[in-house]
């Protein structure tokens, strides 16, 4: 348990998820519903949202969805208003929406830079900005979870723009955690760092030079990736303990340690 944070109960409280129409977001939403939570879903894909809402309602749980583009702060504010007027108590907010477009770093089209930064970084920051003041006003135990990535710590060639946003998200998450701690608030932050989860993240092809790495990653993850349901289970177990770091792939810790050792020893980057 993180120091001095009140226990987090899930049942009969709400979970909010951006990027809830697919992959990790969908699995988190379904897992939340199975914990007896009410669920608010946000995504840009209305059809996907409607399908997830249907699945959740068959579990007998109260649920609604809103088409929200996390690049749009006004839409997030309206969504947050609706969440707090629909549900009595919000326990979890997952700032999860994200995209990937692989490319060799200096050949990444500027439109892709904008897309990736606006969704993965600024979209997550906007989500936190829309929800944290309301969570603080609620004055009950609550956790905001940023879906980062192991790419936050270990950049991979050809996904530099994506890695940059996840590095930056790590910085935002730590700063926000410390700010909330200074307030002695019952609200805190988690940084979820998955790697290789079987989702649709690689499906939109990247036409840029180096973009073919995305197909390679997709094939590897289809063969060996973690099912999103397993990730959701690990995540909720960590949230019960209100952990800041959620590192669902234990093997990654070894390579993280090697990387830290190389930095401390002033050795240049080494992939893998």
Ligand X SMILES: NC(=O)c1ccc[n+]([C@@H]2O[C@H](COP(=O)([O-])OP(=O)(O)OC[C@H]3O[C@@H](n4cnc5c(N)ncnc54)[C@H](O)[C@@H]3O)[C@@H](O)[C@H]2O)c1
Of 16, 19, 103, 141, the residue at the interface with ligand X (CB under 6 A) is 19
- Contacts with ligand X in 229-268 (CB under 6 A)? none
* Residue 116 lies near ligand X (rule: CB under 6 A): no
Q: Per-residue b/e over 247-257, b at no fewer than 16 CB within 10 Å?
A: bbbeebeebee
d(CA 18, CA 191): 15
d(CA 101, CA 213): 10
Of 17, 41, 69, 186, the residue at the interface with ligand X (CB under 6 A) is 69
d(CA 124, CA 26): 17
Contact 191, 81 (CB under 8 A): no
Of 35, 127, 143, 149, the residue at the interface with ligand X (CB under 6 A) is 149
Binding mask 193-232 for ligand X (x = CB under 6 A): -xxxx-xxx-------------------x-----------
Distance in Å, CB of 135 to ligand X, minimum: 20
CB nearer to ligand X: give 127 or 186: 127
d(CA 110, CA 87): 40
Distance in Å, CB of 243 to ligand X, minimum: 17
Q: Which of 244, 218, 248 is nearest to 102 (CA)?
A: 218
Distance in Å, CB of 69 to ligand X, minimum: 4
Distance in Å, CB of 119 to ligand X, minimum: 5
* Residue 76 lies near ligand X (rule: CB under 6 A): no
Of 45, 212, 229, 233, the residue at the interface with ligand X (CB under 6 A) is 45
Task: Indicate the length of the chain as a whole number.
Answer: 272
Tokens representing residue 220 in the block: 């590897």
Of 16, 24, 90, 180, the residue at the interface with ligand X (CB under 6 A) is 24
Distance in Å, CB of 42 to ligand X, minimum: 6
* Residues whose CB is less than 8 angstroms from the CB of residue 148 and which lie 6 or more positions away in sequence, other chains included: 166, 169, 170, 173, 191, 192, 193
CB nearer to ligand X: give 23 or 155: 23
Which H or E element spans position 63?
Answer: strand 63-67
Contact 25, 124 (CB under 8 A): no
d(CA 68, CA 75): 6
Of 32, 39, 44, 76, the residue at the interface with ligand X (CB under 6 A) is 44
Distance in Å, CB of 59 to ligand X, minimum: 20
Distance in Å, CB of 233 to ligand X, minimum: 15
Name the residues that contact ligand X, by CB under 6 A. 18-19, 21-25, 43-45, 48, 68-71, 96-99, 119, 123, 147, 149, 194-197, 199-201, 221
């Amino acid at each position: 348990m993180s120091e001095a944070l009140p226990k987090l109960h899930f049942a009969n409280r709400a979970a909010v998820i951006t990027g809830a129409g697919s992959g990790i977001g969908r699995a988190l939403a379904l897992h939340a519903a199975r914990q007896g939570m009410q669920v608010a879903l946000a995504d840009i894909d209305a059809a996907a949202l409607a399908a997830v809402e249907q699945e959740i309602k068959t579990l007998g749980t109260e649920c609604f969805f809103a088409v929200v583009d996390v690049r749009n702060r006004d839409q997030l504010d309206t969504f947050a208003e609706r969440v707090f007027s629909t549900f009595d108590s919000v326990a979890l907010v997952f700032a999860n929406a994200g995209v990937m477009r692989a490319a060799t770093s200096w050949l990444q089209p500027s439109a892709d830079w904008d897309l990736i930064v606006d969704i993965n970084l600024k979209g997550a920051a906007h989500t936190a900005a829309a929800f944290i003041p309301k969570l603080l006003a609620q004055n009950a135990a609550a956790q905001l979870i940023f879906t980062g990535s192991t790419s936050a710590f270990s950049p991979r060639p050809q996904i530099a723009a994506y890695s940059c946003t996840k590095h930056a998200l790590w910085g935002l998450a730590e700063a926000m955690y410390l700010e909330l701690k200074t307030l002695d608030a019952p609200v805190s932050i988690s940084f979820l760092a998955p790697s290789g989860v079987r989702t649709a993240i690689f499906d939109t092809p990247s036409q840029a030079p180096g973009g073919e790495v995305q197909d390679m990653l997709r094939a590897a993850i289809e063969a060996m990736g973690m099912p999103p349901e397993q990730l959701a289970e690990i995540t909720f177990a960590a949230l019960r303990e209100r952990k800041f770091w959620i590192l669902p792939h234990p093997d990654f810790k070894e390579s993280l340690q090697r990387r830290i050792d190389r930095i401390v020893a002033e050795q240049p980057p080494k992939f893998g």
